[in-house]
Structure 1
Amino acid sequence: MRYPSSKNTEYLDTKIAIPTSLGGSGNGANPKEVLVASVTTCYAATLTFVLESRKLPVAELTVNSEASISDNEFKIIHYPHRRLFYVQIDWVRK
């Protein structure tokens, strides 16, 4: 089985390597890191769509994710952080 040593696209230039603990060079992102980054990107894009479709005024959105692997489970947990726009409305009483 061959693994690419890098992945180049218009917006992404990433070295990919098998971890040294699995017999690889370790000179790049390991496949788990690439997978978690991809899933996190999809999650953030979906969350952005949902927030915008509900017309929520989001000023900033970041997502931190962590992954864990055991013998029978691969789990990715997302921790979204959003900052909403603050709009001050001055009420005029007559």
Structure 2
Amino acid sequence: MSYRAVEDFMPLALQHGPAHVARLHEFRDRGLLLMVGTFDEPMNGDAMGVFTTREAAEEFIAGDPFVLGGVVASHSVRPWNEVLHPG
């Protein structure tokens, strides 16, 4: 899953951040979220998450406070094939 943030994202991100982080923890604790983070260069609020299934990513997006609160300008879910994994 990837997010593209709105141009002036920081005020909205600060406002909705605690609820967004709580949702991240919920999905991690349910075993649905493997990793998540923002891109550093340029630091523009864009982010990526790796979920166990497409359905988990879509469920996350549907209720994410960053999406509902206008931090996210657009999002996408793309299939990903892991080619190097522990044996």
TM-score normalised by L of structure 2: 0.30
Q: Which has the higher strand share?
A: 1
Query: Which one scores higher on RCO, CA 8 angstroms, separation ≥ 6?
Result: 2
Task: Identify, as 1 or 2, the structure richer in helix.
Answer: 2
Please report the TM-score for the alignment, with normalisation by the length of structure 1: 0.28
